[in-house]
Structure 1
Amino acid sequence: MSEPRGPGRHWGVEETRCLVSLWAEGAVQAKLESFRNKEGYALLERGLKEEGYERSSKQIQVKIRDLKVKYRKMKEETRRSGNGRPSSFVFFDDLDAILGTRPATSPASLLE
């Protein structure tokens, strides 16, 4: 029997991989970085749905927040320890490609 793919359950590795892959797309990143980031989450929701995963925009937003927190924690641990890429976080390289070149704060948000 296959694993249920609807809301209200733990995110599996393949579902998370699909989310990260969609998140890496330039159009999605542009929407998520804008003040209209709801459109970005809607794009991710549709993309996941096309792949057979049912998640709400809110669930996606929470998952992305959690992935960012884990990425930043691993990045800081790696920086402090001087070791290379953390082997315990499967999505580190993918998230580093998405988040690694971004400043910690947006200059535009500092001016407002």
Structure 2
Amino acid sequence: MESGAGKHWTEEEVKALLSVWSEKNIRKQLHGTLRNKGIFIYIAKRLQELGVCRDWKQCRAKYKNLKYEYRTVKYAHNSGDVTKTMKFFHDLDAILRYEPVTRLAAEENGRCSATETQPNTSPPTDRKEIAIFHCHCLP
């Protein structure tokens, strides 16, 4: 199988990536770190077991692209544009809907601390809400 960086992902390859990505321990690790090369090396090995020959950089790039496209469509839906869509939206929604939300809070000393809150698992309402958090941090 050709493994060039520009090779398009087949539907089967994306489904395999989504199946690995949907595992709870993988989701937790991906959410909890920015330095995630090791996680994507593991994902690439898991994909090889499923017959998908992709290296960790390709897996990370596809992950980022899918996540970006999902968030773009989700934002459009939340803004009332239900015409915008993407393949695998429902699969990604099932994976990303319950990501914990990290909020920054200013402390008395002027520094910020990050706290993780539980995701909103209640059904969506008709109200459109956008929450913007500002934090002025001192060095």
| Common fold by TM > 0.5 | yes
How many residues in Structure 1 have an aligned counterpart in Structure 2? 104
Question: How far did 1:26 drift?
Answer: 1.0
Structure 1 SS opposite 2:69 = helix
1:102 aligns with 2:99: yes
1:61 aligns with 2:60: yes
Match of 2:16 in 1: 18
With a CA cutoff of 8 Å and minimum separation of 6, indicate the structure with the bigger relative contact order. Answer: 1
Match of 2:89 in 1: 92
User: Contact (CA 8 Å) 2:44, 2:54: kept in 1 or not?
Assistant: yes
Distance 1:100 1:64 in 2: 15
Could you list the structure 1 runs, at least 4 aligned residues long, displaced by more than 3 angstroms after superposition.
Answer: none
Distance 1:30 1:72 in 2: 18
Match of 2:129 in 1: none
User: Contact (CA 8 Å) 1:29, 1:40: kept in 2 or not?
Assistant: no
Structure 2 SS opposite 1:111 = strand
* Two-structure CA RMSD over aligned residues (Å): 2.3
1:7 aligns with 2:3: yes
Match of 1:78 in 2: 77
Distance 1:81 1:16 in 2: 28
TM norm structure 1: 0.78
Name stretches of at least 5 consecutive residues in structure 1 with no aligned partner: none
TM norm structure 2: 0.64
Distance 2:39 2:17 in 1: 12
Question: How far did 1:53 drift?
Answer: 1.3
Match of 1:31 in 2: 29
Question: How far did 1:33 drift?
Answer: 2.1
Hey, which of these two has a bigger chunk of strand by percent?
A: 2
